[in-house]
Protein backbone atom coordinates (compact mmCIF):
# COMPACT_ATOMS: atom_id res chain seq x y z
CA UNK A 1 0.00 0.00 0.00
CA UNK A 2 2.48 2.64 -1.14
CA UNK A 3 -0.23 5.19 -1.81
CA UNK A 4 -1.62 4.83 1.68
CA UNK A 5 1.87 5.22 3.08
CA UNK A 6 2.24 8.51 1.22
CA UNK A 7 -1.08 9.70 2.62
CA UNK A 8 0.05 8.76 6.11
CA UNK A 9 3.24 10.77 5.64
CA UNK A 10 1.14 13.69 4.51
CA UNK A 11 -0.97 13.39 7.66
CA UNK A 12 2.13 13.37 9.85
CA UNK A 13 3.37 16.52 8.13
CA UNK A 14 0.04 18.27 8.71
CA UNK A 15 0.03 17.24 12.39
CA UNK A 16 3.53 18.67 12.80
CA UNK A 17 2.47 21.96 11.28
CA UNK A 18 -0.59 22.13 13.50
CA UNK A 19 1.64 21.56 16.52
CA UNK A 20 4.00 24.25 15.25
CA UNK A 21 1.18 26.79 15.41
CA UNK A 22 0.86 26.17 19.14
CA UNK A 23 4.56 26.75 19.63
CA UNK A 24 4.36 30.32 18.43
CA UNK A 25 4.21 33.15 20.89
CA UNK A 26 5.46 36.41 22.25
CA UNK A 27 9.14 37.24 21.91
CA UNK A 28 11.23 40.10 23.21
CA UNK A 29 13.81 41.98 21.23
CA UNK A 30 17.28 41.58 22.63
CA UNK A 31 18.26 44.83 24.20
CA UNK A 32 22.00 44.39 23.75
CA UNK A 33 21.85 44.62 19.98
CA UNK A 34 24.41 47.04 18.58
CA UNK A 35 22.19 47.87 15.63
CA UNK A 36 18.38 48.05 15.67
CA UNK A 37 16.66 45.24 13.85
CA UNK A 38 13.30 45.33 12.14
CA UNK A 39 10.93 43.22 10.11
CA UNK A 40 7.62 43.56 8.33
CA UNK A 41 4.60 41.94 10.00
CA UNK A 42 3.74 38.77 8.06
CA UNK A 43 0.08 39.72 8.11
CA UNK A 44 -0.48 43.49 8.02
CA UNK A 45 3.02 44.36 6.70
CA UNK A 46 3.57 47.00 9.37
CA UNK A 47 7.26 47.56 10.06
CA UNK A 48 8.30 46.49 13.55
CA UNK A 49 11.59 47.82 14.89
CA UNK A 50 13.61 46.79 17.94
CA UNK A 51 14.30 50.47 18.63
CA UNK A 52 10.57 51.24 18.78
CA UNK A 53 8.93 48.35 20.63
CA UNK A 54 9.98 45.64 23.10
CA UNK A 55 7.98 42.68 21.89
CA UNK A 56 6.75 40.88 18.81
CA UNK A 57 5.07 37.57 17.99
CA UNK A 58 6.72 34.71 16.21
CA UNK A 59 5.50 31.45 14.71
CA UNK A 60 7.20 28.64 12.82
CA UNK A 61 6.41 28.43 9.13
CA UNK A 62 7.49 25.67 6.78
CA UNK A 63 11.12 24.67 7.00
CA UNK A 64 13.49 26.85 9.00
CA UNK A 65 11.77 30.11 8.31
CA UNK A 66 9.54 31.89 10.81
CA UNK A 67 6.61 34.23 10.54
CA UNK A 68 6.79 37.38 12.62
CA UNK A 69 3.93 39.60 13.64
CA UNK A 70 3.51 43.10 15.05
CA UNK A 71 0.80 42.15 17.55
CA UNK A 72 -1.06 39.31 19.21
CA UNK A 73 -4.07 40.17 17.02
CA UNK A 74 -2.08 39.62 13.82
CA UNK A 75 -0.50 36.43 15.16
CA UNK A 76 -3.89 35.03 16.25
CA UNK A 77 -5.51 36.00 12.98
CA UNK A 78 -2.79 34.22 10.99
CA UNK A 79 -2.80 31.21 13.31
CA UNK A 80 -6.57 30.79 13.06
CA UNK A 81 -6.61 30.97 9.26
CA UNK A 82 -3.65 28.61 8.95
CA UNK A 83 -5.22 26.17 11.39
CA UNK A 84 -8.46 26.04 9.41
CA UNK A 85 -6.47 25.49 6.24
CA UNK A 86 -4.51 22.62 7.81
CA UNK A 87 -7.63 21.04 9.31
CA UNK A 88 -9.29 21.12 5.89
CA UNK A 89 -6.19 19.49 4.39
CA UNK A 90 -6.23 16.84 7.09
CA UNK A 91 -9.88 16.09 6.44
CA UNK A 92 -9.19 15.74 2.72
CA UNK A 93 -6.30 13.33 3.29
CA UNK A 94 -8.42 11.25 5.67
CA UNK A 95 -11.20 11.07 3.08
CA UNK A 96 -8.68 9.99 0.46
CA UNK A 97 -7.43 7.23 2.75
CA UNK A 98 -10.97 6.04 3.31
CA UNK A 99 -11.63 6.02 -0.42
CA UNK A 100 -8.42 4.12 -1.02
CA UNK A 101 -9.36 1.51 1.58
CA UNK A 102 -12.70 1.00 -0.14
CA UNK A 103 -10.97 0.47 -3.48
CA UNK A 104 -8.59 -2.05 -1.95
CA UNK A 105 -11.45 -3.89 -0.30
CA UNK A 106 -13.27 -4.09 -3.61
CA UNK A 107 -10.13 -5.24 -5.39
CA UNK A 108 -9.62 -7.93 -2.74
CA UNK A 109 -13.20 -9.11 -3.09
CA UNK A 110 -12.88 -9.38 -6.86
CA UNK A 111 -9.59 -11.16 -6.55
CA UNK A 112 -11.13 -13.76 -4.22
CA UNK A 113 -14.02 -14.22 -6.63
CA UNK A 114 -11.66 -14.84 -9.52
CA UNK A 115 -9.60 -17.18 -7.37
CA UNK A 116 -12.64 -19.21 -6.34
CA UNK A 117 -13.71 -19.40 -9.96
CA UNK A 118 -10.45 -21.07 -10.78
CA UNK A 119 -9.08 -18.24 -12.84
CA UNK A 120 -6.06 -17.95 -10.67
CA UNK A 121 -4.39 -21.08 -9.38
x-or-dash pattern for Zn ion, window 60-99, by CB under 5 A? Answer: ----------x---x-------------------------
R_g (Cα) of the chain, nearest Å: 24
From the list 14-22, 34-42, 51-59, 78-86, the region that binds Zn ion by CB under 5 A is: 34-42
Angstrom distance (rounded) from CA 15 to CA 91: 12
The single-letter DSSP state of residue 121 is: -
Beta-sheet strands, E only, within the chain: 25-28, 38-40, 47-49, 55-60, 66-69
Torsion of CA 105, 108, 109, 113, to 10 degrees: 170
# residues contacting Zn ion (CB under 5 A): 6
Minimum CB–partner distance for residue 43 and Zn ion (Å): 5
Minimum CB–partner distance for residue 88 and Zn ion (Å): 24
Angstrom distance (rounded) from CA 77 to CA 103: 40
From the list 25-33, 40-48, 51-59, 113-121, the region that binds Zn ion by CB under 5 A is: 40-48
Decide if residue 59 touches Zn ion (CB under 5 A). Answer: no
Task: Give the residues lining the site for Zn ion (CB under 5 A).
Answer: 41, 43-44, 46, 70, 74
Amino acid sequence: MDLDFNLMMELTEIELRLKGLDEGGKKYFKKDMTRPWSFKCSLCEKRVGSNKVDEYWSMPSTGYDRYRFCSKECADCYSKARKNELLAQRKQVMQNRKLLREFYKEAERRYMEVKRGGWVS
